[in-house]
Amino acid sequence: MSAQLKDVIIKPDAPSWLLLDKHADYIAAYGSKKDDYEYTLSEYLRMSGIYWGLTVMDLMGQLPRMSRQEIIDFIKACQHECGGVSASIGHDPHLLYTLSAIQILCLYDSLDAIDVDKVVEYVKGLQQEDGSFAGDKWGEIDTRFSFCAVATLALLGKMDSINVDKAVEFVLSCMNFDGGFGCRPGSESHAGQIYCCTGFLSLTGQLHQLNADLLGWWLCERQLPSGGLNGRPEKLPDVCYSWWVLASLKIIGRIHWIDKAKLRRFILACQDEETGGFADRPGDVVRRVLKSRAQIFLQCSECSGLSSAGGSFPHSVRDRRSLSPRRRADQGSKSGSVHAGGRPAEGPPAARPPQLAHHHPHKHRYPHINSPQLEAGSGSGLISVSLFGLNPSSAHVSIQRIVFQLLKFKHNLKTHSLHLNASLPSAAAKN
């Protein structure tokens, strides 16, 4: 008996355009009922939740609706003596929330609100002898934390505080035979970990160490007939995995290997027309916790082709932090979508046999670390990785992705003077 492919079916009446106002209202109202049980449940990642919400609002040009000073004061209260920042007041510090805090402060151009030297010390102190990073003083090692560390330091312009060579060595030791990455050496390849590692390699100027064709193939095999992406073979598609996979493909220059139109359709179908917010997949209940709308925007903008090359962080922030993100040029076959049927099982078209891509031989040594030069998908490099602390099915996690695309989307919204309520198809037509 043949197996039924694990996938979802998108109903004909599923939402087909982006409900921006609904999402904005949802986020603006989130947390107004602070005694809410679910709000308490998710407090352990509050800093990341705030970051996600803010980036989405910023993308939609509605950042002023959020309470800037209150948030900055909150972050101040969350920095501990060791320099690390906690998810909320009274919680213990951790690298995940330290990154989120720095990202928020960058967004608000208020890095002076906390002691950034102490932050650098905290991050530096978490690096181990083998180059890996612990998440906090208790010592759990995970490639997510390598990403958090370099992302934090990149934003602060202090990458030279750590042993970057060793850090790279450790991350590369987590590369698997399929081109993917796991949480530790020898761990199973996982879309989320892959995202963190490609983001890491992008930030440290080591993208040439990846086998882009091989990894790209693994990533594009995540796309299912519904258009959604999963995180590993035989998992259901999930809007959060879609982000990780898409962002990784973007970084390695293989984004044209998936069917964007189908993915866009999938994402839009995940929206809840009544309450705002997104479910993990069409048909699921929208969780009442802050969701990763960002990813949606991100993917939507990417899919609709609005995004311009480069630009992965708000221009204003990029200029302020002296970041000059560069993109890895799209390689490999450019013959449009790989899968007319949405099933990439046969692999990418006309791909050359996998080999180490030596596109940037001069980058063998990572560039001047004092003025961070970020490679492709730097937005992803600046995105919080907190999602890993969360059950991916409670989608609030995935917001990190948002940042990346949000910025692009925002850029394009401004450029094309699109009304916020414009549906994507017309936006695409204007482009």
**Residue 356, interface with other proteins (CB under 8 A)?**
no
Structure-block tokens of residue 405: 């695309």
Binding footprint of other proteins, residue count (CB under 8 A)? 54
Q: Which 197-216 residues touch other proteins, going by CB under 8 A?
A: 214
Looking at beta carbons only, is 61 or 354 nearer to other proteins? 354
The binder of other proteins chosen from 41, 309, 420, 429 (CB under 8 A) = 41
Structure-block tokens of residue 193: 């970990």
- The stretch near other proteins (CB under 8 A) out of 231-239, 370-378, 400-408, 411-419 is 231-239
Q: How far is the CB of 288 from other proteins (least distance, A)?
A: 13
Looking at beta carbons only, is 352 or 414 nearer to other proteins? 352
The binder of other proteins chosen from 21, 29, 33, 40 (CB under 8 A) = 40
**Residue 335, interface with other proteins (CB under 8 A)?**
no
CA 341 – CA 399 distance, rounded (Å)? 29
Decide: residue 390, CB within 10 A, 0-12 exposed, 13-18 middle, 19+ buried. Answer: buried
Q: How far is the CB of 321 from other proteins (least distance, A)?
A: 29
Q: Which 57-116 residues touch other proteins, going by CB under 8 A?
A: 86-87, 89-92, 94
Contacts of 45 (CB under 8 A, 6+ apart): 87, 96, 97, 386, 389, 390, 396, 397
**Residue 7, interface with other proteins (CB under 8 A)?**
no
**Residue 361, interface with other proteins (CB under 8 A)?**
no
Q: How far is the CB of 366 from other proteins (least distance, A)?
A: 21
The binder of other proteins chosen from 118, 124, 235, 363 (CB under 8 A) = 235
Q: Which 177-196 residues touch other proteins, going by CB under 8 A?
A: 177-178, 182-188, 190
Q: Count Cβ atoms below 10 Å from residue 139 Cβ, excluding itself.
A: 9
The binder of other proteins chosen from 14, 16, 43, 360 (CB under 8 A) = 43
Name the CA radius of gyration of the chain, rounded: 20
Residue ranges binding other proteins (CB under 8 A): 1-3, 5-6, 35, 37, 40-41, 43-44, 86-87, 89-92, 94, 135, 138-140, 172-173, 175-178, 182-188, 190, 214, 221, 232-235, 343, 345-347, 351, 353-355, 388-391
